[in-house]
Every structure is written in structure tokens, then in C-alpha cells.
Structure 1
Amino acid sequence: MTRSYGQFATVYDQLMEDMPYAEWLGFARAGWSRYGMPASVVDLGCGTGNISIPLARSGFHVYGIDLSSDMLTVARSKWDETPQGLARPRPGTIRWLQQDMREWELQEPVDAVISFCDCLNYLTEESDIEAAFRSTYSGLRSGGTFLFDMHPPKQLIRYAEEQPFVLDEKDVAYIWTCDFEEERCEIEHSLTIFAREHDSKFSRFEETHVQRAYDPDWVEAALRRAGFQSVDRYADFELKPADSESERLFFAAVK
């Protein structure tokens, strides 16, 4: 199932500030240089806009789609605070939409769709993955590109072996444990989060997120069943072939 963020949205950027957003953006641009540079882009599972906003700032027409209204509220606020004098090669735009990635739709097709930060691993049934692929195929123009990343099975196993994880910062802290279910290659992340409030007191809340990893060959076959004719597999933020040692898989599918 897709992510469900509530209070977590308010501290998401603090917890994720070390994530490699620049590398995801770099992979997107490298992929578009190879497959065709878009004008319009859907960021599927956009979260708080950490990829959508830089794309719009650089001139793309972006649709940020997420199921969580809380995440979109944060994203919208960040975009509204963008300095008006920011230099742009051409005017970029963002439209924020609360939709399910399994059945998203727009009035007109777009040139490209991206989904990074292992968003698709949050779909925990094969039928959900296939539905998301079909919706994406329908939402792309002919020749459009779908770029996304996923954790391979080995990464979820690694999480289970290396947990628990602990963060202790000035304004936010967490204890993160994992429970791995081998047969489905599914992992449950349980987080206890402590966040500083305006009165300097800390609030405590719990978050549970479930991810599932899929065999890469099955993912490629599912893309082809959705209608994509060209599917390439890459790894670790580079346009290099994926192999059994890859820590993060990237797919490029062309309609």
C-alpha cells in the first residue's frame, strides 16, 4: 500500500536532509539526455517536494502527485516561499495533486514521469505495482519516459540485519526497528519519533511503514505487460547496467 504520513510530514525534511536528492535529480537529467528531454514531468510520490521544486525552479512544468495531504501541504508551503527573483531559464510551474499512484490521471499526457526515493516499494501487492504501471503508461505521451528506482530484495534484508537505527539530533530523534518477512520479501519499519515543539518540549509519536521488494525480472516483465516497449535497468544513480551487487535499482521505460 502507499505511504500514509500524518504528523511525520512536519519532521520529514529534518529526518531526510541527508538523502541524495541531488543524485536523483542528476539521474533524471542523465536519463532525459539519453531518452529525450521533457517539458512536462509528473513526480509520482512527490512527498514534500524535494525533487519537484528544484525541477520547477529550473524551468520544467511539474505535477507533484502524492496520496498524503499532509506531505502536499508542506510541499505547497515550501514552493510558495520560493524567492520570486530566482533565475530560471524558462518559467517553471508546479501543480500539486492528491492522488493514488495506482490510479493517477491528468487531463493531458505528459512527457515524463519520475518516482524516486523507493516510492514504489511502498506498494506491497503485485497487483498494485501493475496498476501503477498501467496508470503511468496511460498518462505518458507516445515516446514519453518513466524513470523510477526501487530497493532490490538484498537491501531490505540488509535493513533487517543492521537494525535497530538511532538518530539523536537537537530538535528530532528516533528509534527505528525493522521486522522482515522473508516469504514476501516485505519489511515493516517501526519508528518512535521525538520532535521538539515551539515551547521546546518534545512530542512523541509512532510511525509504521511497510515496504516490499520485487524480483527485478518481474518488474521489467510487468512494465512490458503495461505496454512499455523499451525497458532498461540501471543501478546506483548511474546509467550503468544493474547487477547482483547493486544497492538501488533504477528503471527507464519508454512508451
Structure 2
Amino acid sequence: MSNSKNNTSYRRLADVYDHLMADAPYDQWMQVAVEVWRHAGVRPARVAELGCGTGSLTRYLLEHGLEVWGVDLSADMLHVAKEKVERSHPDAPVHWLCQDIRELTLRSQVDSVLCFCDTLNYIPDADGIQRVFAHVYEALVPGGTFLLDVHTPYKIAEVFGNESFTHQDEEVAYIWESTYDPEAEAVEHDLTLFVQEQNGLYRRFHELHRQQAYHLADLTDWLAAAGFELLSITADFTRQPVEADSERAFFAVRKPVRED
């Protein structure tokens, strides 16, 4: 699963999202950020997290003493995030923004922007991606870093492809059917969930999500066109380069200290 990019699609999913994402490696996403900052020789104080969902990674950022702007299109996801963070970090410096990241607007610049959990694959076209990059550039202080990841075209086509996935436990069951469009290089996830109510009965609801594949060369070009300097491109929570069968690509870029 992934962070929210569609307000309608995630409306009913917000209540069970954390249950479905219980095994998501948020600690590894945090470690990726820490390693990039260390290699870049920066110590950010203010960070924006795009597609923050229910705030699971947000809590890791707060534990590192960072002031956080949590941005998501889904008000329901943000509601869950706010309640969760208030329980664990009641006095934390966190600001919640319900925004489409293609129209990102922060009241002040930040030291780093994170866009993890394949959030960008939910942007349906190249124009939208380039708009995100332009707004992130403006949101960063000179020398600020932008860290992002995407599902690779390999994962979109070969891992999701035209596959079906099922899951069942005591609280939630789902049937997840993926359909790949080779011409568009996009996959649709048709998800039917059965969620147990307090009376023991199960409530059924349906979700439809679309993820677009983006090629690394295109992303690299669009980041450069936005003005960013490339720091690294790595694969699958490692420091290794992206290979033909890598499933997740991480980009780290920086806004120049002196703009041309």
C-alpha cells in the first residue's frame, strides 16, 4: 500500500490503513533519510513530509528532534495522523496540511523535503511530477535536500503486473487484483476489503488505485530541469545502484546553495 494521493480513494481506507501497513519498513525510510543527510553534510531542523498518510514516518521524524510539516491530500488520513501523533508526541512541533502536492504551498521554507512510500507513482502524468518538483524547489532553503522514492517500471509491470493478492486475519481480509496497461505503463489496483465491526460482522468496501511507472532517466531530467543537483540514485533501501530487477528507486537531490 502507499500514502494517500486520492482523497476519495483513501476516505474509507484511512481507518484500517495502519493495520494493513503494519509491516511497512518506516524505520528503513528514516534510515535512508539519515544516511543521505549525513553524506550530504547537513543537519536539517525543519522537514516537510509529502504523502504523510497516517503519520507513521512522521513519528520517526519527530523522534529525531525535527519540526515537521505533514502534507497529504486526504483529510481522513490527516485526522488519523493527528490523533496518533498527539498520543505519542503531545507537544511535538508538527503542522498538518491538507494539500495536493502538485500545488504544494508552505508558509516558510524547510531544510529537507521527503516524498517516500511511492507517493509519486500516484501522480498520473509527467506534468504533475514536474509541478511537484518545481514546488518542492521553492519550498527548500538553498542547500536543502529533496529525498524521494518510486516503484520502478520493473515492479509496476512484473511484480504487480496482472497478479492477484489475498490476505485474511481476525480484523481485515482483502482481495487485491492488479491490472497492468503496457501502453500507459500503469497498473490499477482493484481492492475489495472486509473489515470487522464491533458487532463481529464484516463491512465490505471497495477501493481502486492507479500507479504510474516513471523511468529513472526521465525523473533525473525533470529534477535537473527544476534546478536540483543530483546526489545519489540507489535501490531498495541500500546504497547500491538500481538494477534491471530493482523494485524501488531512491533519489537524493539538493537545491544549490547559490542559484544561477
- TM bucket normalised to smaller: over 0.9
Matched, 1:9 2:14: yes
Q: 1:128 to 1:161 in 2, by over 3 A?
A: closer
Matched, 1:135 2:141: no
Matched, 1:20 2:25: yes
- Offset, 1:229: 2.5
Matched with 2:236 is 236
Q: 1:92 to 1:60 in 2, by over 3 A?
A: farther
Matched with 2:185 is 185
- Offset, 1:161: 4.2
- Offset, 1:201: 1.3
Q: 1:213 to 1:24 in 2, by over 3 A?
A: same
Q: Which amino acid aligns with 1:167?
A: H
Q: Which amino acid aligns with 1:57?
A: E
Q: Which amino acid aligns with 1:14?
A: H
Matched with 1:203 is 203
- 4+ residue stretches of structure 1 with deviation over 3 A? 159-162
Q: 1:24 is paired with a residue of what secondary structure?
A: helix
Structural RMSD (CA)? 1.5
CA contact (8 A) 1:46 1:64 kept: yes
Q: 1:137 is paired with a residue of what secondary structure?
A: helix
Matched, 1:220 2:224: no
Instruction: State the distance in 1 between where 2:250 and 2:6 align.
Output: 20
Task: For 1:26-45, list aligned pairs within 5 A.
Answer: 26-35=31-40, 36-45=42-51
Q: 1:10 is paired with a residue of what secondary structure?
A: helix
Q: Normalising by the residue count of structure 2, what TM-score does the alignment of the two structures yield?
A: 0.92
- Offset, 1:38: 0.6
Q: 1:148 is paired with a residue of what secondary structure?
A: strand
CA contact (8 A) 1:62 1:95 kept: yes
- Offset, 1:231: 4.4
Which blocks of at least 5 consecutive residues in structure 1 are unaligned?
85-90
Task: For 1:57-72, list aligned pairs within 5 A.
Answer: 57-72=63-78
Q: 1:51 is paired with a residue of what secondary structure?
A: helix
Q: 1:191 is paired with a residue of what secondary structure?
A: strand
Instruction: State the distance in 2 between where 1:92 and 1:221 align.
Output: 37
- Offset, 1:92: 4.6
Matched with 1:121 is 121
Between the aligned residues of both structures, percent identity stands at 39
CA contact (8 A) 2:122 2:210 kept: yes
Task: For 1:40-189, list aligned pairs within 5 A.
Answer: 40-82=46-88, 92-161=92-161, 163-189=163-189
Q: 2:214 is paired with a residue of what secondary structure?
A: coil
Q: 1:83 to 1:56 in 2, by over 3 A?
A: closer
Q: 1:234 to 1:216 in 2, by over 3 A?
A: same
Q: 1:161 to 1:44 in 2, by over 3 A?
A: closer
Q: 2:107 is paired with a residue of what secondary structure?
A: coil
Which blocks of at least 5 consecutive residues in structure 2 are unaligned?
256-260
Per-residue CA deviations over 1:181-205 (Å, capped at 9, x if unaligned) read: 1011100000000001122211000
Instruction: State the distance in 2 between where 1:221 and 1:186 align.
Output: 20
